[in-house]
A and B are shown apart, each in its own frame.
Chain A
Amino acid sequence: MTTFDLNFAADHFTLFGLAQAQALDQESLDNSFRAIQSRVHPDKHAHASEADQRLAMQWATRINEAYQTLKSPGRRGRYLLQLLGHDPQIESNTAMPAEFLINQMELREAVEDARSAANEDALDVVRVRLLNEIKADYERLASLIDVDRDLDTAANLVRQLMFQEKLLNEIDDALEAVTA
């Protein structure tokens, strides 16, 4: 049974009636999101007073923000760790295991080479490889947080994921440049 706690100050999980966990049922999230948005969205208050419309906008904004955060496993992990008092400190803590850094450097070189050779297929290959790595890490993150409760290791993994997601964006940019 899913219940909502539509309190503006509630955390994202509570807002959508979900447990505070990294493993998440995408469909439940989607359903809650749409159900709440169907209530609060400005279109549902289009002929209300200006003040009401503005409030509806603030609520819809809040719900969108919460949804975007929970939808992406990386952002969700980061947010959840913050909630649990283990802020991954993305900005200040940049220490990474050497193995991870070497792998990242290899991938980056592969992207650079493919980009300067305008090789779309090669970029796709790196992209798929990275996507698979990210996917495996997402699964590991869920078990670290939900099962092992090893939040320090989880925080390290979240930091690594930020790197990987950034690289993925760069590959997308490169693909754009190559196919344009």
Chain B
Amino acid sequence: MALLQIAEPGASAAPHEHRLAVGIDLGTTNSLVATVRSGMSVVLNDVQGRPLLPSVVAYAADGSVEVGYGAEARQSVDPKNTIVSVKRFMGRGRHDIAHIETLPYDFVDTNGMVKLKTIAGIKSPVEISAEILKTMRNRAEASLGGELTGAVITVPAYFDDAQRQATKDAARLAGINVLRLLNEPTAAAIAYGLDNSAEGIYAVFDLGGGTFDISILRLSKGVFEVMATGGDSALGGDDFDHRVFCWIIEQAKTAPLSLQDARLLQTRAREAKEQLSQHGQVPITVKLGSGEYVDLTLTTEMFKDISRTLVQKTIAPTKKALRDAGLTVADVRGVVMVGGSTRMPQIQHAVAELFKQEPLNNLDPEKVVALGAATQANLLAGNRAAGDDWLLLDVIPLSLGLETMGGLVEKVIPRNSTIPIARAQEFTTFKDGQTAMSIQVVQGERELVSDCRSLARFELRGIPPMVAGAARIRVTFQVDADGLLSVTAREQTTGHEARIEVKPSYGLSDDEIAGMLRDSFSHAGDDAFRRALREAQVEAQRLIEATQSALQDDADLLSTLERAHIDEAMTRLQHAMGGEDRRLIDQAMHTLSAATNEFAARRMNQSVQRALAGRNVNQLSL
């Protein structure tokens, strides 16, 4: 295998067997898994033929875990240990969570991401989500009859870095190889775009259980370009349930509710809301544990009335996304409806009124994300069929910035920049002989650091001592195709590579992840830990082979010194591979990759030039 193979268009690598790849919609309320079968994207049902898996995880005293419908049924019996909508806690601190006081869980006080105290121990949202993902993985492997090569996992476009990182960590914990984190609306557009071979500007309006996303996409010649995204990460069907719930309490004038009764009424509120999408009115009759009776009728009119402000809350982000894209409603060719909550007639009307056209509803709004994710997974896994040659160009949903003097934010990468993207920023020292500085990275649109999310604090150490203002430290932000951020720093005048310590404010450290992997290994006999190790070893072997073969072909592109660096890094990696420490292997791989970077770039220049030189744009297969 050569370093960076630039295959000629159409000429894929050697024919291979079909790789098992799936798309997973890890939803706040419901999760789904889909795959491409005989060229068609299909949702994989459970053994009882049900497509949805409620995103509910229930823990029991004996340490056993139940996920899905079974867990959902335990909600009113054991609300404290039955975790619903865990997605709302992913990468979130205590103060980020709306209505936290109304939630039945025991939150553990931590600085970073919230943790929940359950009867089976303290659980992080990452671990809880991993249970859902494991269930999806098992369903897929049972139904496809083999081990998965990888999965595309969808996230709301509005998810920030901490939330994305948490999602990826959860997948890792579930033993899933993540081919790509994909924005949900983009996935929906893939599902629609390919079926309807649509060209033009599309809006994707996704109102699920806990999040609202609006994205503006341009579909053209097989390229899906996200022009802008926006939304509200704390707005969804749950809020409509909450309004109905409050209405019930107010109308029925109930005594203060027990946890169980509250849960019961919430479930009833939701059922009533869903039924109202087909009926003009629904009865709500409940016998509470307290002995009280609730007997009410909710009409469409009343429901519209109490939820008006929620519907209204979807309009401003939609207008903003259009403005960001430099467009008006007249430019939009179609509005794709996604998420169970778009079934509500008042949402359909609001969207139709705003865009002055009937929205698109021909695919099931609850399945469309998983279907699109499966299509993308199939492509990324290399199961390409003729004509499967689209490209996604996604954007970063929130601006990335740095703390400057006085707690102000300086934007480094503006929101809606196409990813991958890199930006550099220069800093200097303000004291003579200063050898360290602390840099805070934030994400958000507000001007004050305190109003944005702190992603990480970086300690730059080992700056050569100089007079104040003389050092020039260049900090580079790189956002990759998953929308994840990494930061590197270099002192410019001396070329000294400064050491960076990353302290993720909301994510989990590698050590924590490794610990959880080991835990899940020893507790449940899960093979995730071994699997991760084996994968790292295989990947390392591939890297060594690729490097060797590249050296054989193009050693003349290297100086003696460069060559020596590469040889040394290779030896170190070979050594690490023999051991059981995955992090050591990762580190050695990074070192080798870094050592071969420039070499690979030169080879890539050569090969791309060979492939493209002298060609007309139109000759390139788009």
Task: Answer whether residue A40 sits at the interface, using C-beta atoms and an 8 A cutoff.
Answer: yes
Residue in A closest to B614 when the chains form the complex, CB atoms: A3
Q: In chain B, residues 412-433, which have Cβ atoms closer than 8 Å to a Cβ of chain A?
A: 417-422
Quick check: is B360 within 8 A (CB to CB) of the other chain? no
Contact stretch, chosen from A5-13, A93-101, A151-159: A5-13
| Known A6-B612, A28-B617, A34-B221; contact A52-B5, beta-carbon cutoff 8 A | yes
Q: Which residues of chain A have C-beta atoms less than 8 A from B181's C-beta?
A: none
The answer for the CA separation of A21 and B438 in the assembled complex, in Å, is 42
Q: Is the CB of B391 within 8 A of A55?
A: no
B144 within 8 A of A: no
**CB-based contact B593/A48 at 8 Å:** no
Q: In this assembly, does B234 line the interface, its C-beta being within 8 Å of a C-beta of chain A?
A: no
Are the CB atoms of A6 and B609 closer together than 8 Å? yes
Q: A3-B614, A38-B391 are in contact. Are A64 and B417 (CB under 8 A)?
A: yes
How distant is the Cα of A60 from the Cα of B392 in the complex, in angstroms? 12
With a CB–CB cut-off of 8 A, which chain B residues contact A8? 601, 604-605
Residue A105 is within 8 A (CB to CB) of chain B in the complex: no
A64 to B421: give the CA distance in the assembly, Å.
7
Q: Counting CB contacts under 8 A, is A67 at the interface? A: yes
Within 8 A of A (CB), among B534-568: 539, 542-543, 546-547
Contact of B616 among A2, A6, A30 (CB under 8 A): A2
Complex contact B418–A68 (CB within 8 A): yes
Q: Is the CB of A1 within 8 A of B612?
A: no
Q: How far is the CA of A64 from the CA of B418 in the complex (A)?
A: 7
Q: In the complex, are the beta carbons of B418 and A67 less than 8 A apart?
A: yes
Given contacts A54-B593, A60-B420, contact A46 B605 (CB under 8 A): no
A59 vs B604: C-alpha distance in the bound complex, in angstroms?
A: 9
B319 touches A179 (CB 8 A): yes
Among the interface residues A49, A65, A180, which one has the most CB atoms of the partner chain B within 10 A? A49
Rounded to whole Å, the gap between the CB of A50 and the closest CB of chain B is 6
Encoded as 1 (CB less than 8 Å from any A CB) or 0, chain B from 607 to 622 comes to 0110111111110101
Inter-chain CA distance A47–B616, complex, in Å, is 28
Instruction: Judge whether B316 is part of the interface by a CB distance below 8 angstroms.
Output: yes
| Selected contact of A17 from candidates B3, B605, B617, CB within 8 Å | B617
Q: Are B601 and A34 in contact (CB under 8 A)?
A: no
Given contact pairs A2-B616, A50-B589, A59-B604, A37 touches B391 in the complex (Cβ within 8 A): yes
A180 / chain B contacts, CB cutoff of 8 Å = 316
Complex interface: chain B residues within 8 A of A38 (CB): 222-223, 389, 391, 620, 622
Contact between A51 and B393 (Cβ–Cβ < 8 Å)?
no
Please give, as numbers and ranges, the residues of chain A lying within 8 Å of B421 by CB-CB distance: 61, 64-65
Least distance between A17 CB and chain B CB atoms (Å): 7
Partner of A52, one of B320, B417, B546, B620: B546
Contacts of B605 in A (CB 8 A): 6-8
Number of B interface residues at 8 Å Cβ cutoff, please give it: 59
Q: How many A-B residue pairs have CB under 8 A?
A: 144
Inter-chain contacts of B391 with A (CB < 8 A): 34, 37-38, 41, 43-44
Q: Is the CB of B613 within 8 A of A4?
A: yes
The docked-state distance in angstroms from the alpha carbon of A37 to that of B5 is: 15
CB neighbours (8 Å) of B481 from chain A are: 41-43, 57, 60
Min C-beta distance of A1 to chain B, whole Å: 6
Q: Annotate A82-100 by CB proximity to B: 1 below 8 A, 0 otherwise.
A: 0000000000000000000
Report yes or no: A1 in contact with B616, Cβ–Cβ below 8 A.
yes
Complex Cα distance A1/B380, Å? 32
Question: Chain B residues with Cβ under 8 A from A4's Cβ?
Answer: 612-613, 615
Alpha-carbon gap, A57 to B597, bound state (A): 12
Q: Which B residues are in CB contact (< 8 Å) with A108?
A: none
Q: Which residues from chain A contact B279 at a C-beta distance below 8 Å? A: none
A contact residues around B611 at 8 Å (CB): 39
Q: Given known contacts A35-B617, A46-B380, is B3 in contact with A51 (CB within 8 Å)?
A: yes
Tell me if A47 and B5 are in contact (CB < 8 A): no
Do the beta carbons of A46 and B179 come within 8 Å of each other?
yes
User: Please, which residues of chain B bring their CB within 8 A of the CB of A172?
Assistant: 323
Contacts of B539 in A (CB 8 A): 49-50
Q: Are A51 and B596 in contact (CB under 8 A)?
A: yes
Cβ of A61: which chain B residues have Cβ within 8 Å of it? 420-422, 478
Can you offer 13 A-B residue contacts whose CB atoms are under 8 A? Answer: A3-B614, A6-B605, A7-B609, A38-B222, A41-B391, A50-B539, A51-B600, A52-B4, A52-B5, A55-B4, A57-B478, A59-B604, A61-B422
**Contact surface of B with A, Cβ cutoff 8 Å:** 1, 3-6, 179-180, 220-223, 315-316, 319-320, 323, 379-382, 389, 391-393, 417-422, 478, 480-481, 539, 542-543, 546-547, 589, 592-593, 596-597, 600-601, 604-605, 608-609, 611-618, 620, 622
Q: Which 4 A-B pairs have the closest CB atoms?
A: A46-B380, A6-B608, A52-B4, A42-B481
Given contacts A46-B180, A49-B1, A51-B3, 16 further A-B contacts (CB under 8 A): A2-B616, A3-B612, A4-B615, A6-B605, A7-B609, A28-B617, A31-B618, A34-B220, A36-B612, A37-B393, A39-B612, A43-B380, A46-B381, A55-B600, A172-B323, A179-B316
